[in-house]
Amino acid sequence: MINLIYIIILAFFIFLVYISGKNNRTNLWCVCAGLLLSLGILKELFYYNIVPYLQAQDLISARAADDIYSVMTWMLYDFAMAACVVFAMNFAGLPQHRPRVYYGFQIGSAFCILLLSLRFPPLEFRIHQTEDPSFWYFLSTYNLILGAVFTFLFIGAILKEQDHTAKKQKILVSIIILPPLMYWLATIFIVHPLMLTRYFKLWQGNVLILFICVILYLYIASKEGLMGLKLNIENFTWDSGNEFVNRNAELTVHMLKNYTVKLNWCISNLKQHVLKDSGALPPEFEIMERSLLGIQNYCDRVKKYSQQLTLVESWASPDSLYPFYSSDSVLDGNTLTCHLNQEILLYCDPLLLHEIFHNLIANAVDALRISGNKGDIYITDYIDSRRKKYLITIRDTGIGMDKEHLRHIFEPYYTTKATETNFGLGLPYCMKIMEKHAGSIEVKSTPHAGSSFTLSFPAKRIRKREAVSDENL
C-alpha cells in the first residue's frame, strides 16, 4: 500500500511541474528527472506486488521479472542523477551563460554511464546489487558526486540571482526539490554501501517528505505561483497560451503598421498633387490623417499590452513613483491631495508603477470631466496588518460607475469612452503590472459619487526606510 501511495504522490508532483511550463526547458528537465527517479518505487511496486500476480496467472517468468527489475534499476541508478544535474544547470542558467559547460557535462555523463554499463550490464544489475559489494562503491560514489554538484548548482543559482522575485522563486523551488532528493541519496547510497541492513527500507520514509513538499507546492502555487503555475490557471511567466495570444497581437500590429506607413506615403503624395493643382486641401485629408494617427496609437497600446513584462525592481519611496505635485497638465484644473507614508519604501518596478499612477489619475480626471464639475483626487496609503497588505488608494469625486461597468473594466478592449485615444487597454495593463508584483487592484465605485482604485501589494514588499541600505535604493 505504501508503494502505491508513494507513486500516486510522485506522479501528481511530476504532473504539476509539467503543466507549470510545458514549453520551458527547466520544467521539462525537472519532469525527466522526476520520471527517472520514480523508477525506484515503480520497480518495487512491479517486482513485489505485480509480478506475484502475473506469475500466478503464468504470464511472466522469474527470469523475465528479474531482467525488467534490473533494467529499471539500471536506468534509476545510472541516469536519474545525471538528469537531475542537467535540470539544475538549466535552473542556474548555464545553457545561456556557460553553454560549453552545459553540453560538455552531457557528453561527459554519457561517457560515465557507458563505462558503468560496461562494468555493470543492465540485465545483470540485480545480481550485482545483491552479490557484488563493489557495485555499491561505484554507484554510490557516482551518484553522491552528482548529488553534490546538483546541490552546488542550486545554491549557486540562489546566491547569484539579483532579481528579488526570481530569487524568492528559486528559494521556494529549492525547499521543495532538495529535501526528498537528498533523503533518497542518503537512504540508498550511504545506507547500502555501509551494509546497514536494518535501514534498507528507510527510503520509504520519503513518502512523508514528498507529501509535505506537494502540499507546500500547492500552497505556494495558490498564493503567488511557483515554476510558472498559479492554481487559478493563470500562468504568470512561462505560459505558452499567453505567448500564443501575444504573438498574434504582435503580428497584427506589425501588419497594421506596415499598411499605415504605405497610407501615410500615399496621403503625403496626394497632398502635394492637390496643393499643386488647387492650392487648398479638402477636409477629407484631415479625417484620413486623424484616422491613421488613431490606428498608430491603437497599435502602440496593443503592442505594449501584449508584451511580456519584466520587472526591474528596487526600493523606492511611494511618493517618488509619480510627480504628484507637478502634474497640472494632467489634472486639468482639478485638485490633487497626496498623503503617502514617507517612512516606508516599496520594493517594485518604479517605471511600471509610474504608468499605473498616470493611468489612474488620468482616468480620475476623465471621470471628473464627465461629471461636469471640477473636483478632487485623493491619494492615500495604509498598511493592513490583518491581511498583510500594503494599500495605495486613488479616489476621485467624479461620475462613478454602476455595477455593470465594474464587472468589465479589467477586460481588454472594454471601454466606456468612445474616443480615438481610448481602447480599453489601460486598466487591464495596470492589473497586469500589479499581478507581476504579486498584487492586485481593488475597485469601489458609486454612481455620481466617485470611484476609488486601491493598489494592493504584499506587506513583505515594504520596509522601513532605515532598514534598507543606501546601496539598495
Domain check: are 51 and 185 in the same one?
Answer: yes
Domain check: are 24 and 63 in the same one?
Answer: yes
Domain check: are 167 and 256 in the same one?
Answer: no
Indicate whether 334 belongs to any domain: yes
Q: How far is residue 98's CA from residue 91's CA, in Å, rounded to a whole number?
A: 13
Q: How far is residue 70's CA from residue 51's CA, in Å, rounded to a whole number?
A: 14
CB neighbours of residue 330 within 10 Å: 17
Give Cα separations from 93 to 87, 107, 171, 408 (angstroms): 10, 18, 15, 40
Say how many domains are in the chain: 3
Indicate whether 238 belongs to any domain: no
Q: Pick from 469, 471, 470, 460: which is nearest to 164 by CA?
A: 460
Domain check: are 48 and 146 in the same one?
Answer: yes
Domain check: are 79 and 178 in the same one?
Answer: yes
Q: Grid cell 513485489 — which residue?
A: 48
Indicate whether 365 belongs to any domain: yes
Cβ atoms of 297 and 420 closer than 8 Å: yes
Q: Find the Cα–Cα–Cα–Cα dihedral 92, 98, 103, 105, rounded to 10°.
A: -70
What is the distance, to the nearest Å, from the Cα of residue 372 to the centroid of all Cα atoms in its chain? 44
Domain check: are 320 and 382 in the same one?
Answer: yes
Q: For the chain, what percentages of helix, strand and coil (3-state, to nearest 5) are there?
A: 65, 10, 25
Domain check: are 163 and 19 in the same one?
Answer: yes
Residue 424 DSSP class? S
Q: How far is residue 306's CA from residue 152's CA, in Å, rounded to a whole number?
A: 37
Indicate whether 247 belongs to any domain: yes
Domain check: are 189 and 105 in the same one?
Answer: yes
Domain check: are 301 and 323 in the same one?
Answer: no
Indicate whether 265 belongs to any domain: yes
DSSP string, 195-241: T-GGGTTGGGGHHHHHHHHHHHHHHHHHHT-BTTB-TTT---SS-HH
The domain of 468 spans 314-472
Q: Provide CB contacts within 8 A for 227, sequence distance 6+.
A: 17, 20, 21, 26, 27, 30, 169, 173, 238
Q: How far is residue 26's CA from residue 11's CA, in Å, rounded to a whole number?
A: 18
CATH of the domain at 12: 1.20.1070.10
Q: Grid cell 478592449 — which residue?
A: 413
Cell of 46: 512491479
Q: How far is residue 222's CA from residue 409's CA, in Å, rounded to a whole number?
A: 24
Indicate whether 426 belongs to any domain: yes
Domain check: are 57 and 201 in the same one?
Answer: yes
CATH of the domain at 466: 3.30.565.10
**Confidence (pLDDT) at 164:** 75
Domain check: are 135 and 9 in the same one?
Answer: yes
Residue ending a domain, choose from 290, 306, 322: 306
Q: What is the pTM of this model?
A: 0.48
Q: Provide CB contacts within 8 A for 334, sequence distance 6+.
A: 364, 365, 368, 374, 375, 376, 377
Per-residue pLDDT of the chain (473 residues; tens, 9 = 90+): 555 665 676 677 677 666 666 667 888 888 888 888 888 878 888 888 888 888 888 888 989 999 999 999 999 999 999 999 999 998 888 888 888 999 999 999 999 999 999 999 999 998 998 888 899 999 999 999 999 999 999 999 888 887 777 788 888 888 888 888 898 899 888 988 888 888 877 767 767 777 787 777 777 767 666 655 554 444 444 444 444 445 555 556 556 666 677 777 787 878 787 777 777 778 777 777 777 776 766 666 666 555 666 788 899 999 888 887 666 667 888 889 999 998 999 999 998 898 899 889 988 998 898 888 888 999 999 999 998 999 999 999 998 988 888 888 888 777 766 555 555 677 888 998 898 899 999 999 999 889 999 999 999 999 988 766 554 55
Residue ending a domain, choose from 306, 337, 352: 306
Domain check: are 221 and 260 in the same one?
Answer: no
Q: How far is residue 368's CA from residue 360's CA, in Å, rounded to a whole number?
A: 12
Residue ending a domain, choose from 198, 233, 268: 233
Burial of 62-87, coded b for 16+ CB within 10 Å and e otherwise, reads: eeebbbbbbbbbbbbbbbbbbbbbbb
